[in-house]
Amino acid sequence: MFAIAVSLLVLLSACSSVPPTGPAAGRALIDEAAAAMGGWLVLDSVKSQEIITGGTDVEPLQAVEPTGQPRLINQFGQTIVVDFEKNRMRLSFDAMREYPSRQPVKFVEVLDGDAGMLETPQADGKTTRERMHPSRYATRLRDMRRMPIRILYTAKNAADLTREPDKIDGKVTINVLRFKDGSQPVELQLDSFNKLPLRVIYTEDDPIYGDTFNELTFVDWRDYNGVRLPQTQAIFLNGNKIREERVRTLINNPKYEESSLTIPAEIRSQPEVGERIVSQWPLRRLVMGVNYLDFGREQKVELVEVAKGIYHIKGSDHHSMAIEMKDHVIMVEAPFFEERSVAVIKAVEEKIPGKPIKYLVVTHFHIDHSGGIRAYAAKGATILMQETNAPFLKTLLSRPKTMRPDSLAKAGSVTPNVEGVKEIKSLTDGERTVELRDLPNPHSSGMLMVYLPKEKILFESDLFTPGTPVDPSNTLGVQNAVALLAGVNNANIQVDRIVGGHGDVAPLRELAKIAPAGKPAS
């Protein structure tokens, strides 16, 4: 009887024992995962792949509300051909963009060793070729290393690979591996039952959210001639889905033209301008067919005086405005990212010396209009945003930023000051008045327009691009412009000129021309 009891205790102990952790356990677990996918010999035999997928891109930070339904950006088809032995890849992207307006977005990327090339079709049928933006290139290289058939090699080759304690997700036990890929911390999660990868999570920098979990998930595994690979992949940023795609065709060791994976010498010899920052941010922008090129590069700043002491700050396709008051400066809009704001602040301080930036007005929360806010908070400016977006703003300002510390992270003890604007707020020094007004519109809830009564100047972003006609077929663009005109009329304010967060400066009559083309969105 005693022997039976001892045997039961040993059995129970074995069943409830904690899995081993540490480097040796990590390498053993990687071997188990490789065996589940077909074994190292089979994986080693795959020297190249051709993968054709279809899917959608969505963008949470282009939603109508910060916590609202992400906007559908596009529906795409994508073909990649990868040569793993020579570290080369060709990616062909063909999408129909749905937002901000309906139009095709097409490009081809070629990665060949230490260089990348971008091919872009033009309206005249010709194709431009140029060296790839360094951040785009670096991020695509990362994506190659985390492909389903490569992520085990990336982990295996990491000197700091280790197994962490298991995680429990409901009734599922998840095996956890950690390592670094370059400077980025990585967590690879495996299904404890079949040892197949569930997801790989990179920690990267994001201009808005700082330290960000970039999660690639793998589901619907099937066999490809002895190699098990997933049919569906999705990308999440801090738990928010931004892409899902499904395999249509997958060929291991396909035939391909050698020249299709080769970058010509004249492209390779072009200088690489900017930093190789690994971040999903430029990829989120390029699938929309919109500008990302200033990211990681020296910023061009141009101050254009539109009235005495009022400056339209240009140099990119996203603009700000500086308003000189008696003893301080009011800034409007902090687009893109930290580097943009730092350069703008420097230019404004040189143009208007001795007057600190007391306020920053943010028109709305979208990805391209809120990435530079933290630099102003680091200077002690009060950040003004429509009150429904204030929680988003406070989250942005409280996020950790250790992957690429910015001025707010380096400032240490600075406590950002945030004020929500309900319907209208006036800022005055007794001589000049600046009004912040809530502006209902279909583009983004909690939108502010900035009005200077004495100068009859209005600053707005995204609803109208001064100097650029609105395409009548762009339904949302027409609705945005009509909403802006309705906002001006309903506020009963006298506007002579509109200063754009995009575009130039234009008289109100240019906006009024659009009114017959549409009605405000209901």
* Whether 201 and 311 share a structural domain: no
Query: What is the mean predicted confidence (pLDDT) over 181-196?
Result: 98
352: three-class secondary structure by DSSP: coil
One domain, residues 388 and 457: yes
**How far apart, in whole angstroms, are the C-alpha atoms of residue 2 and residue 152?**
47
Whether 381 and 476 map to the same domain: the answer is yes
Of residues 414 and 181, which shows the higher confidence score? 181
Mark out the alpha helices in 109-167 (DSSP H runs): 134-145, 151-156
List the 448-452 sheet strands across, edge first. Answer: 424-428, 433-438, 448-452, 457-460, 497-500, 505-507
Residue 293 counted as domain residue: no
- pLDDT above 90 covers a percentage of the chain that reads 92
Q: What DSSP state is assigned to residue 62?
A: G
Q: Is the pLDDT of residue 164 over 80?
A: yes
Number of domains in the chain: 2
Distance CA 343, CA 338 (A): 9
In a domain, 253, yes or no: yes
> Which amino acid, residue 355?
K
- Residues 62 and 211 placed together within one structural domain of the fold: yes
Q: Is residue 2 part of a domain?
A: no
Do the domain assignments include residue 4? Answer: no
Residues 393 and 277 in one domain: no
Distance (Å, whole) CA 244 – CA 105: 17
**Contact by Cβ (8 Å): 399, 457:** no
Q: Is residue 9 part of a domain?
A: no
Residue 38, domain member (yes or no):
yes
Are 375 and 464 in the same domain?
Answer: yes
Return the pLDDT at 3.
52
Residues pairing with 498 in the sheet:
458, 506
pLDDT reported for residue 15: 47
With 70 as the cut, is the pLDDT of residue 404 above it?
Answer: yes
Mark whether 270 and 339 lie in a shared domain.
Answer: no
User: How many other CB atoms sit within 10 Å of the CB of residue 139?
Assistant: 20
Task: Residue 135: give its domain's CATH number.
Answer: 2.50.20.10
Mean pLDDT of 290-319: 97
Last residue of a domain, one of 233, 260, 286: 286
Query: Two tokens at 318?
Result: 């996203």
Give the tens place of pLDDT for each residue, 318-358: 999 999 999 999 999 999 999 999 999 999 999 999 999 99
Residue 466 lies in a domain: yes
Does residue 167 share a domain with residue 95? yes
> Does 235 share its domain with 343?
no
Q: How confident is the model at residue 470 (pLDDT cuts 50, 70, 90)?
A: confident
| Residue 59: domain span | 19-286
Residue 7 lies in a domain: no
Q: What is the CATH number of the domain that holds 356?
A: 3.60.15.10
262 lies in the same domain as 336: no
pLDDT of residue 518: 45
| End position of a domain, from candidates 255, 286, 317 | 286
* Of 192, 157, 161, 193, residue with least CA distance to 177: 161
**Same domain for 38 and 160:** yes
> Which residue among 261, 286, 311 closes a domain?
286
Q: Is residue 51 domain-shared with residue 198, that is, in the same domain?
A: yes
